[in-house]
Amino acid sequence: MVSAVPRVRRTAVALARGLGLGAIGVVHVLVAVVVVVCLLLSATAVFAVLLLPALRLVRRWTGLARRLARDWSGVEIAVPYLPEPPPATPQPDGWYRDGRSLYRTPRMPNFNRRMNWVLKDPATWRDLAWVVTYAFGGPLLPLAPALMIGYGGVLAFGLVSLPWLAAPVGAVAGVALAAAGLYAAPWTLRLHGLWLRGLLGPTEKALLARRMRSIAESRTETADSQAAQLRRIERDLHDGAQARLVAVGMTLGAAEQLLTTDPAAAEALIAKAREASAATLAELRRLVRGIQPPVLAERGLVAALDALAIDSPMEVTLRADTSIRCQPSAESAIYFAVSELLTNAVRHGGAAHATVELRLGGEPDGTLTVVVTDDGRGGADPERGSGLRGIGRRLASFDGSLTLDSPEGGPTVATLRIPVGPPVAHRDPPRRAGPPAWRRWAAGVCFASFALPLFPLGVVSIAFALAGVPEIVWVRWLGMTGMEWPLMIAMVLLGTALLTMGIVLSVQNVREARGSTASPSTLKAEVAE
């Protein structure tokens, strides 16, 4: 009984959300009408200014659909648009250039850039196609379970009698139809979200543009970080080791002059020089460990983290498989990220115990997950400290991420994820073929067109026929009166076939895209070369 409560709650929430999507679908029809009217009017010179507002309305409405798919259906739909162009910058003479034209103010160049950005983005026209086609029966998909439950209840209570079905059998059929609607409510909501993702998800061009922009940003941040590290090393060598070596040389020179006249003083100076050289060597070792710890290069990541745990002033428990190895650059990034987190736990969190856990994905080129947990006071915020932001930038250069959960009072849980794999020399060359274009277009056409024959021309018409409506209007328009039932069943079969074909093609496209698209780290290596 206890296990049935969450299931009942899940079904009730799914039905409520389906009704909400149906109500939003009524507003969607109005939005589609407004968009179509604005587009038709913008074809004339007088109302051309309506084009950009109409496309902005389309983007806002599709943005709402993506948020509802994420929050209500549990399907995450990435934003598919190309990166927004940067604002126009003035020339040395103060004018703004846009193509071959010059302007005093940036208003017109910025307008032209935004217009080109919107019109030349394939996602804009996919959004527009969805807004128009979804109005033809699309909202009926999330409403289907509620309609099945409602009509099943009407049949079960005998409020509607079917001439070709006996009363007891009709009641049983109504109960079965209502039960099927209850069972299908969560799955229908999920299917609706997957359908939206197939139509409103990012295109390959948008994914590639966003990935290349991320690569460029991470490369710039990595170059800046390396330059800052080189300046720090230069400053440490100049102010530390170099000064000590100069002092050692001067001390040895003075000892050389006193060697014949005052051997005791010369011996004292040589001893002092020996101490200074030992301090210089220790400082150089600390500097080298700050660049690349020797234990990391010699024994690997797990051994380096074990040594880091031993040297930490608090108790650190390490849970990892000693066979975990990845590329040296990725190991260095993880090592310094964990070192920074443990230092913050002691310095800012007052932690007494921490746990470092390493997990490697099942595939050889999977993701390495590092979870660092401490019992400090919590309250860590990347926006208030440069250390956590530095960890994020360091991991971003390897397409990694940092997730921080640090409520006030603790505990603090930092999760590092970074794609790792075998050395580049052992990797197979990436395949760039991907799914064929015709299959992607076919999947889009199937998803965009299945709702019209399945719902308005099929399911809804059958419901009207069962309710006793004397004739089906669209059949009469075709001049095929008397063929209602064969046509309605054919429409249901056609819509179901289109939906099934769209799902099958989409699954094939996703599998081929995952198996053939080069990884972000491979793209970075190619860009660097």
Instruction: Please list the pLDDT of the chain residue by residue as tens digits (529 residues).
Output: 445 677 888 888 888 998 998 889 889 989 999 999 988 888 777 677 888 888 889 999 999 999 998 888 888 888 888 777 888 888 888 888 887 788 888 888 888 888 888 888 888 888 888 888 888 878 888 888 888 888 778 777 666 555 545 556 667 777 888 888 888 888 888 888 888 887 888 766 667 766 777 677 666 666 666 666 677 777 767 666 777 777 778 888 888 888 778 888 888 888 888 888 877 777 776 666 656 667 777 778 888 888 888 888 888 888 887 677 777 777 888 888 888 888 888 887 888 888 898 887 654 456 788 889 888 888 777 766 656 777 777 777 777 888 888 888 878 888 888 887 544 333 444 444 556 777 777 877 777 777 778 777 877 777 777 766 666 777 777 777 777 777 888 888 887 878 778 777 777 776 666 554 444 444 333 333 3
- Among the candidates 202, 232, 261, a domain finishes at 202
- Among the candidates 268, 291, 314, a domain finishes at 291
- Among the candidates 271, 291, 311, a domain finishes at 291
Give the SS3 label for residue 353: strand
The reply to whether 286 and 349 lie within a common domain is no
Report pTM: 0.51
The reply to whether 229 and 187 lie within a common domain is no
At 398, which CATH number? Answer: 3.30.565.10
The reply to whether 306 and 408 lie within a common domain is yes
Structure tokens at 281: 């060597």
Is residue 88 in a domain? no
Do strands 353-360 and 367-374 pair parallel, antiparallel, or not at all (unpaired)? Answer: antiparallel
Structure tokens at 295: 């234990």
Q: What is the number of domains present in the chain?
A: 4
The reply to whether 365 and 329 lie within a common domain is yes
Is residue 497 in a domain? yes
Cα 53 to Cα 317: distance, rounded to the nearest angstrom: 58
Is residue 105 in a domain? no
Is residue 344 in a domain? yes
Per residue in 264-281, is it b (16+ CB within 10 Å) or e — as a string?
eebeebbebbeebbeebe
Is residue 225 in a domain? yes
| Helix spans in 157-300 (H) | 167-200, 204-236, 242-258, 263-291, 294-299
| Helix spans in 43-157 (H) | 51-71, 107-119, 122-134, 140-156
The reply to whether 52 and 184 lie within a common domain is yes
Is residue 93 in a domain? no
**CB neighbour class for 432 (10 Å; exposed up to 12, middle 13-18, buried from 19):** exposed
The reply to whether 476 and 379 lie within a common domain is no
What's the DSSP call for residue 82? P
Q: How far apart are the first and last CA of the chain?
A: 62
The reply to whether 479 and 442 lie within a common domain is yes
The reply to whether 72 and 166 lie within a common domain is yes
The reply to whether 222 and 355 lie within a common domain is no
Q: What's the pLDDT tens digit per position in 126-168?
A: 888 888 888 887 888 888 888 888 877 877 766 655 554 555 6
Distance of CA 266 to the CA centre of its chain: 69
The reply to whether 66 and 155 lie within a common domain is yes
Is residue 167 in a domain? yes
Cα 470 to Cα 107: distance, rounded to the nearest angstrom: 61
* Structural domain that includes position 279: 215-291
The reply to whether 448 and 466 lie within a common domain is yes
The reply to whether 149 and 70 lie within a common domain is yes
Q: What's the pLDDT tens digit per position in 48-82?
A: 788 888 888 999 999 999 999 888 888 888 888 87
